[in-house]
Amino acid sequence: MSVSERVVDDAVCLGCGCTCDDIRLRVEDDRIVAAEKACSLGVAWFGTGRVPARALENGVVSSPQQAVETMARILTGARSPLVYMAPDVTCETQRQTVAIADLLHATLDSVTSATSLASILAAQQRGRAGATLGEIRNRADLVVFWGVDPAVRYPRFQERYAPAPVGVHVPEGRRSRTVIAVDVGEQRGPSDADVRLAVAPGEEVATLVRLTAALTSTGTPDSTAPPSGTLEEMALRLRSGRYVVVVADAEAPGGEQRVDRQRADALVALSLALNASTRGALSLLRSGGNRSGADAVATWQTGFPLGIDFARGYPRYSPWSGSAVSRISRGEIDAMLIVGNIAALPAALQSTSSRMATCVIGPHASESDFSRGATVVDTGLPGLHSGGTVLRMDDVPLPVRAIFRGAIDAEVITRALCERIVAVQRDARLEHRPRVGR
């Protein structure tokens, strides 16, 4: 039997927040055999390109239509449901998910509340001097990696954005840039940094505050050159940069929440202070799967990025007390709909989800432990099995297209569920409508 071969150029990878869109896939017999230019995370994310396409109810094979019917019945019958946006779905699917939460008067949350909430709240309170990754690539002549080496969790960041690539205002690439690594305890910056500054974990916030104060100081500068490797030298270098970018990880090394709100606030303050004497920005690194898309879609539809309560018929914002983990831990949720890849759920949510009726729409749903007692529908991955829009970690939207056929589109299933919930609610209202006698 002949082997069907084809090459797919410019595929988009959601393996991390870099969302590289230059991947070249080699496909044989509808199976990916090579993902050129992809890093190790990308290779794992693409896999073979094959995903299950099943629907299960309590571990028993069902049809997608019947599973949607069961989900609608479970969710409309719940007293206090939760709708949760997990990674690896398109913005179009996320829009349908928000509509479902609105119809159900449910709590709406996403994985962001367990990973990057502190950074989002700091930006809301202070504002944030940000930049697209393209702007960093073309303008940044001084890059500060604050307690992070992108090579660990974002392998192509340095290759595609900074400090390696040639840019419009940095024509010699790496030689046109100065790299400063701030090592916070064991969280070290890149090994090839030009300047290093060691900071004890307990002194991180204090160091950020002191550096911010040095940048905003209006005193007469000392003509004596400060010692190498000191905070004073770093402040001097930041002042002299034409376009300074501070790169920090919005998530803890394990992908969970950085609970230090003061740290997030201090990083934002530093990025704002940079613009008092030069141009600067804060670039926050985030994991993949269109996580930023969930924040953007929720904000677009409700005004808030996460922790949204529709119980009163309109959205209310409770980012800390209204998060999924908080509400489940207090026993306030009796049914849950997860839309996205449940492999990316925070551990705290996975450990509590067995206490309630659970519905899952997302990639590889039938292969997880959730499928034993839940109603699940497998869907494809964006950029492999479904088209639409995803957001890079700098909130730049990228179009994705379907490469393989056969997998169920998550947008189709969520739209069908939304329509079925509307029908069930309408039937319930008609059933309880008072009859007018003759």
Determine the pLDDT at residue 2: 47
Determine the pLDDT at residue 369: 80
- Identify which of 309, 346, 352, 351 has the alpha carbon closest to the alpha carbon of residue 330: 352
180 vs 230: CA distance, rounded Å: 12
Cα 367 to Cα 113, 206, 363, distances in angstroms:
25, 46, 9
235 vs 282: CA distance, rounded Å: 16
* Residue 299 near residue 317 (C-beta atoms within 8 A): no
148 vs 75: CA distance, rounded Å: 42
Determine the pLDDT at residue 433: 67
Residue 425 tokens read as 């609610």
Say which residues have a Cβ less than 8 Å from residue 33's Cβ, sequence separation at least 6.
26, 27
420 vs 337: CA distance, rounded Å: 14
Q: What string of DSSP letters covers 335-395?
A: EEEEES-GGGS-HHHHHHGGGSEEEEEETTGGGSGGGGTSEEEE---BTTTB-EEEE-TTS
162 vs 141: CA distance, rounded Å: 9
400 vs 391: CA distance, rounded Å: 10
Determine the pLDDT at residue 160: 97
220 vs 198: CA distance, rounded Å: 27
| Sole residue written with tokens 């499928």 | 371
Identify the H or E element spanning 105: none
78 vs 387: CA distance, rounded Å: 32
Q: Superfamily for 117-285?
A: Dimethylsulfoxide Reductase, domain 2 (3.40.228.10)
Determine the pLDDT at residue 258: 52
Domain ranges of the chain: 1-50, 51-115+290-431, 117-285
Determine the pLDDT at residue 230: 79
**Positions in the chain short of pLDDT 50:** 1-2, 438
Mapped onto helix, strand or coil, the DSSP state of residue 102 is helix
355 vs 333: CA distance, rounded Å: 9
Determine the pLDDT at residue 438: 41
What is the third-level CATH fold of 51-115+290-431? Answer: Rossmann fold (3.40.50)
